[in-house]
Chain A
Amino acid sequence: MPDGPDDATLIARSADEPEVFAQLYHRHAAELHRYVARRLGSDLADDVVGETFLVAFRRRERYDARRPLALPWLYGIAANLISGHRRSELRAYRAFARTGADPVARTGGSDADADAVDGKVAAQASGPAIAAALRSLSDGDRHVLLLVAWADLSYQEVAEALGIPLGTVRSRLNRARKKMRAAIPELDPILDEEMHHHG
């Protein structure tokens, strides 16, 4: 947990002092940006994250002050904005699946580039298959799957973020995982028991 007041307190205070909202940005923008960049690429992520915080600011009085951590709320706003770039996201998955080259691959020079290339090579084997599978998901299923896998949200947090019941989170996640599993060649497509029960 970051030092200082919790998010709910910051958000409440930002009504008086909008600059306080910048603190919320400092707390969560990096994490949010990385998630959005992973889906849409870094350039679009800049726009989406900026807009996410602006939308959050406009809606700040609707923030549920009982929730000390604002991240799920911010992810929910970002999810809506990401949906607005659906075609762009899907186009990149398709390109990756067809060509084996990821248009959303990390760009820009840094000392870590050499390591990054190694990592990419290792991840590439199943990359196109995963991209194809992600592309085949419905929007709702994709949000749930990626909020769990990439944003590390709990089921409860995903439910809060997307404004859907917990049961829906479970069923969407199971459906999405089933598709992913079937699409990744080196995994055994036979589903485990838990999946059958919830799916």
Chain B
Amino acid sequence: MDELTKLRDFRADTAALDAEQLDAGARRLTEQIRGTTPARRRTAAGDVLRFAVATGVRRACLAGLTAAAVTAGVLVALPGSGARDEPARTLTIADVLDSAAAHAAAAPAKEPSAHQWLFSREYGCMATCGTQEEWYRYDGNQKAFRDPMAKGVRVLVNDFGPRVAPAGLCKIVEDAGARPQETRARLAALPTEPRALLEALREDPYFAAVSTKIDKLPASSPAAAFDRVVVLLSLTETAPPRTAAALYRAISYIPGVHLLPRPVKDAAGRPGLAVESTQRAAGHDIRSTLILDPKTYAYRGLRVEGGPWKYSSARLGVAVVDHPGQRPGGPVPPPSSITVRPFTIKDPSC
């Protein structure tokens, strides 16, 4: 027996962390990394005001809707639509999505330039809740965020390398949201007739892969179709207005998707109109909910719940800005605060 063996016996009975302690530690770490405790609703609402994302209430939309109330509709108590004693309106899912489509179609069609940045601010809950800000460069080659641990402003820019990576170089981010310019071009080429659009999304491998990543659903299932459209709607300023409108309309053509009679709160606690699809995946009934702005019916958040999954996200603001790390209307982060880092992985198998 030598000294190393003796030493290995020393305090050899030191206990290891159990699974519960590990989970707690991981949770604490995530919270600290996020630098956030769950935001109060007041803060979230303030952010929305500050970012002034919505282009304003489309009165025309609402007025049209009220007139168009159909017998087969659902009685919906619209949240935040004025006086408390306002009578609930009867809406059908088609009404709601038509209005959302009309609203989307009226949005400015100006496409960002390749080196502009799509800013988004979201409040999301997965294991823990937190506010997340991201900047995607429109050409999809870079993504930026502010270092949550930094004192002062520190913008980290991930450089994903050329759009088509050479052999031996793996690209890390590949989803449609990370490539806004390409995604927009591809979306613009799709048919806008609802059924044809749903079919095109299902058949095109680029879009077939789009999902909330909760679980792999059979690509041809209605739930997967709903999931794809919801994710595409959640992207920041990516679809051309005509296609965005078609996406909203297409939802009412997906079997089993229905409008909930009551407002549903998004992750940030704001009530909105809820369109829901239920699915069975991995032995669990999973509810996916698209939450729409109660006034403009535009995308405002999503929720996935069921089995082990619980995920929700609320859009607090989106905008096109000229610099990474720049908030809408905010100052331009100085060049010294920006760190660009190569984000490709060398791997011969790529």
Contact = CB atoms under 8 A, between A and B. Distances in A.
Contact of B17 (A33, A110, A131, A145): A33
Contact of A16 (B13, B127, B148, B158): B158
B26 interface: yes
B50 to A, nearest CB: 24
A53 B29 contact: yes
Interface string A98-121: 000010111010100000100110
Contacts of B156: 15, 61
Q: Which of B8, B17, B30, B149 has the most CB of A within 10 A?
A: B17
B6 A126 contact: yes
Contact of A184 (B6, B127, B148, B173): B6
B83 interface: no
Contacts, number: 129
B8 A149 contact: yes
A76 B103 CA distance: 56
A31 B145 CA distance: 32
A18 B6 contact: no
Main secondary structure of the interface of A (DSSP, over half): helix
Most buried by B among A9, A22, A37: A22
Interface residues of A, number: 54
Contacts of A175: none
Nearest to B33: A18
Nearest to A66: B346
Interface in B140-195: 143, 145, 147-149, 156, 158, 172-173
Interface in B312-348: 339, 341, 343, 345
Interface residues of B, number: 41
Contacts of A181: 2-3
A23 to B, nearest CB: 8
A12 B345 contact: yes
A149 B12 CA distance: 11
B158 A123 contact: no
B72 interface: no
A158 interface: no
Contact of A177 (B4, B145, B149, B158): B4
B126 interface: yes
Counting chain B CB atoms within 10 Å of each CB, the highest count among A12, A131, A187 belongs to A12
Interface string A4-25: 0000110011011011011001
B1 interface: yes
Contacts of A42: 14-15
A197 interface: no
Interface in B19-51: 22, 25-30, 32-34
B86 interface: no
Interface string A121-137: 01100110011001000
Contacts of A54: 29, 32-33, 149
Contacts of A58: 147, 149
A146 B27 CA distance: 29
B63 interface: no
Nearest to A117: B13
B7 A130 contact: yes
A50 interface: yes
A139 to B, nearest CB: 17
Contact of A61 (B13, B22, B173, B341): B341
Given A15-B158, A46-B25, A127-B10, 7 more contacts: A12-B172, A13-B172, A26-B26, A61-B339, A130-B7, A184-B3, A187-B3
The 8 closest A-B pairs by CB, nearest first: A180-B3, A22-B26, A181-B3, A18-B33, A38-B14, A149-B7, A116-B13, A25-B26
10 contacts: A16-B143, A22-B30, A29-B25, A34-B15, A50-B32, A110-B15, A119-B12, A123-B9, A145-B7, A187-B6
